[in-house]
Structure formats: C-alpha cells, structure tokens
Chains A and B, each alone.
Chain A
C-alpha cells in the first residue's frame, strides 16, 4: 500500500515550457487535491476533484489545468511555465463523509522554472 505517490520528484523547466505532474493514490479515495507550497505562505489549493471526471478551481488556479480521467490519478498541467510557478507541489487525497476528512499527502514535486 503506497498511499499517495507523485512523479517526478524534481524538475527544472525553462520559461514557456510545459509539463505534467502525476499524482496516484491506491486508497480508493474519491477526493484529490493539488497544492503549492511557497516559503512563508503555507499550502495553497490550486485545483481539486471530488470524483472521476470532475475538477474544480481552488484558491490559486491560474496557469494550471488538471484532469481526473481515472479515480486513482490526478494530473496537474502547466501549459506555459513561468518563474512564478517555481514551488513545491503537493498532491493529497481524502474520502467523503464525516470522520474521513483527513487528507493524505504525497511526498511532493519540487519545480524550478528558469
């Protein structure tokens, strides 16, 4: 049982390049989330999904797109990377219902945009 995994662990991009971050969970969770963590800012929600085929915007969605084609996977895309997107990206998952609000986090992807 791997929990939440993220690939890649680290990536360097040039401004304007695109990339996709992959998140996978094996806990059969309905809900999945993408966050970014910047120094002194805590975690901020980018996009989230409450089920296969559904996505919604979070607090800081601009410059990102997401897809949830399979229940276990949640992809975060950067179409044209900018230096302001240099950050550590975390994926998380949780289940619906009271008593299940805990979010389980992946190890993170460190992205540097030059």
Chain B
C-alpha cells in the first residue's frame, strides 16, 4: 500500500498554542496535500505543496516538505477551538494524470478552549 502514516495519531492542546502534525509517505510524489475533516463531515482541502517546493504558507497554516526523507509537516499557529478536527495528508504520486490521492491515517486534533 502507498498509504502514508501520520504522527501523532491524536493531539490535544490549549487554545492559542501551536499544533504540529507529521506525515511520512513511501513513493516519489507530484504533490502533497493536507485536508481537514470535521466529525461526521466530508474532507476539505487546506493546502497543496508541490514536490519542488520546500515550504508553503496559507493564513495560520505552514507546510513543509522534505522529499529526501519522504515526509511533510503541517503547523497550525495560534490554534482555535474551531480547529478541532482530523487532519489528513494525501500524496499524489499518480502518473496517469488522474490526480489520484493516497491518504494518510490522520491526526485527530483537539483544541481546548
């Protein structure tokens, strides 16, 4: 399976603190994406980083990518209670052009008000 793994599986922090989640994957990739899933809902795209990029920012999100280590991290700064959700990394290693993604196992983030 090409499915990635995320670490930690669960993370609990106080509001205002930063949250860092890590993702490791197995194959060469075109890009890596992070998605968020609120309980009982579908996934929502957060940010995409391409294989030739090392860092990307979007609002309170910062993503890094190390292709030599086949790993990525997602940092959420100044967390809010509304950030409570599961976060998934997804790798696009598809050579057919179909944008197929392989998802990690997810990190469950709880932000305590």
Contact = CB atoms under 8 A, between A and B. Distances in A.
Contacts, number: 67
Interface stretch (B39-47, B58-66, B72-80): B39-47
Nearest to A106: B42
B56 to A, nearest CB: 14
B81 to A, nearest CB: 22
A50 interface: yes
Among B48, B97, B99: residue with most chain A CB under 10 A: B99
B42 A101 contact: no
Interface in B61-110: 88, 90, 92, 96-106
Contact of B42 (A41, A58, A105): A105
A104 B103 contact: no
Q: Label chain B's interface by main secondary structure.
A: loop
Interface string A81-112: 00000000010101010001111111110000
Nearest to B92: A101
Interface string A32-68: 0101000011111100101000001011000000000
Contacts of A94: 99
Given A90-B43, A107-B41, A101 B3 contact: no
Contacts of A42: 3-4, 88, 103-106
A94 B42 CA distance: 15
Given A96-B97, A96-B99, A101-B99, A44 B43 contact: no
Contacts of B35: 105
A105 B40 CA distance: 13
Interface string B24-57: 0000001101010000111111001000000000
Given A41-B105, A43-B88, A101 B100 contact: no
Contacts of B43: 43, 90, 92, 103, 105
Contacts of A107: 41-42
A90 B99 CA distance: 16
Given A42-B105, A59-B1, A103 B42 contact: no
Interface of A: 4, 31, 33, 35, 40-45, 48, 50, 56, 58-59, 90, 92, 94, 96, 100-108
